[in-house]
Amino acid sequence: MEYDLIIVGSGSVGAAAGYYATKAGLKVLMTDAAHPPHKEGSHHGESRLIRHAYGEGEKYVPLVLRAQALWNELQTLSGEKIFTQSGVLNLGPAQSEFLSNAEQSARQFSLPLEKLDAETLMARWPEITVPSDYIGLFEPDSGVLHSETAIAALIRLAEEAGCAQLFNCPVEAIHTDAQGVSIDTSEGTFHGRKLLVSAGTWVKRLMPGLPVTPVRKIFAWYQADGRYSTNNRFPAFTGELPNGDQFYGFPADNNELKIGKHNGGQVINAPEERKPFGAVSTDGAEAFPFLRQILPGIGGCLYGASCTYDNSPDEDFIIDTLPDAPNALVITGLSGHGFKFASVLGEIACEFAQNAPHRFDLTPFALSRFNHA
């Protein structure tokens, strides 16, 4: 049996690729070391932000707009709650580069974005306190993706469409040549025409040359109340402190508000080094500076979790084939901001398997920018 597409890693991107490729009529094998959704990769902790006016640069906007359309479609098809349109408020000093990129993205793509000065912002959301030189950029159409629900839905729909799924079975090696691709597992060797390598943080175990650094990250839930919930129109948010630290958070659910710090974390070299929340002495207090300054009404830390970023050197994605393996597409280096794109990245992998031309400009995500051999 030869598959049209073999997927190594069926977490965020791989789950989407499995569904779109099967729906397109391809013979697909999805594999995973665990059974997604799970807590060993980068997608757990219930929720992920989706922002359209993109602080990381406008090259991402066409991708995120397509991703949003696919998430909306998935919500309809699956009957599950995949997206909550809470709006996203981006906060920071008026001269913040992230905010100016977000503003530029909105201008270039005519996205709705409200710019608020500190006084107007605090009048609209009295739960938020910002210094007088801060601004807020509010995106009404963005919000929260329910990441684990989304992956479960993609995997279920892929299976119902006839996709082969081999879970709890790590891929031990991949082979590519001009004829095709194959993977080795404890269940045997499987052959295909094309390969998607979407193995997340530990992709270097299969492709050691990739410039990807695993980083341990944490997020935690804090005591909140109804004022911080979507019922009170409290938004999801990103926030930059005067010292440059970047935080992100979600409207409270069940009186618990989740917050995390985007920069920082601990570089790790093996999955066992990703210690649980609380094992690093700074974990419990990591969000305090943001909470004290910006959300002073939030209470104590209830619980937290650890997760992993797969950082590329410039924190932009890697979406490319290797020079010696044109049948294998690698999607990695999502650097802690990739979930929102998982749907469109899955669609891109499906088009790769169909030999269809790219709809998006993927040159900013090429490996050659690192002089990768």
Which residues are near ligand FAD by CB under 6 A? Answer: 8-14, 31-34, 36, 40-43, 48-49, 170-171, 198-200, 202, 206, 217, 219, 248, 260, 307-309, 334, 336-340, 342
- Bridge partners, residue 230, by sequence: none
> Which residues on neighbouring strands pair with residue 331, listed in sequence order?
319
* C-alpha distances in Å from residue 191, one per residue of 25, 159, 181, 275, 347: 18, 19, 6, 36, 22
Please, what is the minimum distance in Å from the beta carbon of residue 130 to ligand FAD?
A: 21
Residue that has been written with the tokens 């419990």 in this structure: 284
Question: Minimum Å distance from CB 9 to ligand FAD?
Answer: 3
Min CB(110)–ligand FAD separation in Å = 22
CA distances from 279 to 185, 261, 266 (A): 33, 17, 12
State the minimum distance, in angstroms, from the CB of residue 144 to ligand FAD: 8
CB of 14 to ligand FAD, least distance (A): 6
Asked whether the beta carbons of 171 and 183 are under 8 A apart, the reply is yes
Any bridge partners for residue 310, and if so which? Answer: 214
Distances (CA, A) of 133 to 94, 214, 222, 241, 293: 6, 35, 27, 12, 14
Cβ closer to ligand FAD: 136 or 336?
Answer: 336
Q: Looking at beta carbons only, is 111 or 342 nearer to ligand FAD?
A: 342
Q: How far is the CB of 134 from ligand FAD (least distance, A)?
A: 21
Q: Encode 85-149 in three state secondary structure.
A: CCCEEEEEECCCHHHHHHHHHHHHCCCCCEEEEHHHHHHHCCCCCCCCCEEEEEECCCEEEEHHH
- Considering the complex, what minimum distance in angstroms separates the CB of residue 133 from ligand FAD? 26
CA dihedral 4, 9, 11, 16 (to 10 degrees): -10
From the CB of 117, what's the least distance to ligand FAD, in Å? 26
Would you say 52 or 340 has its CB closer to ligand FAD? 340
Question: What is the largest distance, in Å, between two alpha-carbon atoms of the chain?
Answer: 65
Q: Which is nearer to ligand FAD, 42 or 86 (CB)?
A: 42
Element (H, E) at 15: helix 12-23
Residues 181, 183: Cα–Cα separation, whole Å: 7
Residue closer to ligand FAD (CB basis): 68 or 229: 68
Q: How far is residue 322 from each of residues 16, 72, 176, 207, 329, measured CA to CA in Å? A: 22, 32, 10, 10, 7
Which residue lies nearer to ligand FAD by CB, 27 or 337? Answer: 337
C-beta of 14 vs 251, nearer to ligand FAD: 14
Nearer to ligand FAD, 190 or 339 (CB): 339
Q: Which H helix or E strand runs over 212?
A: none
Q: Closest separation between CB of residue 305 and ligand FAD, Å?
A: 8
Identity of the residue, 8 or 344, whose beta carbon is nearer to ligand FAD in the bound complex: 8
Ranked by CB distance to ligand FAD, the top (closest) residue is 11
Burial of 92 (C-beta count, 10 Å sphere; 0-12/13-18/19+): buried
8 A C-beta contact, residue 230 and residue 198: no
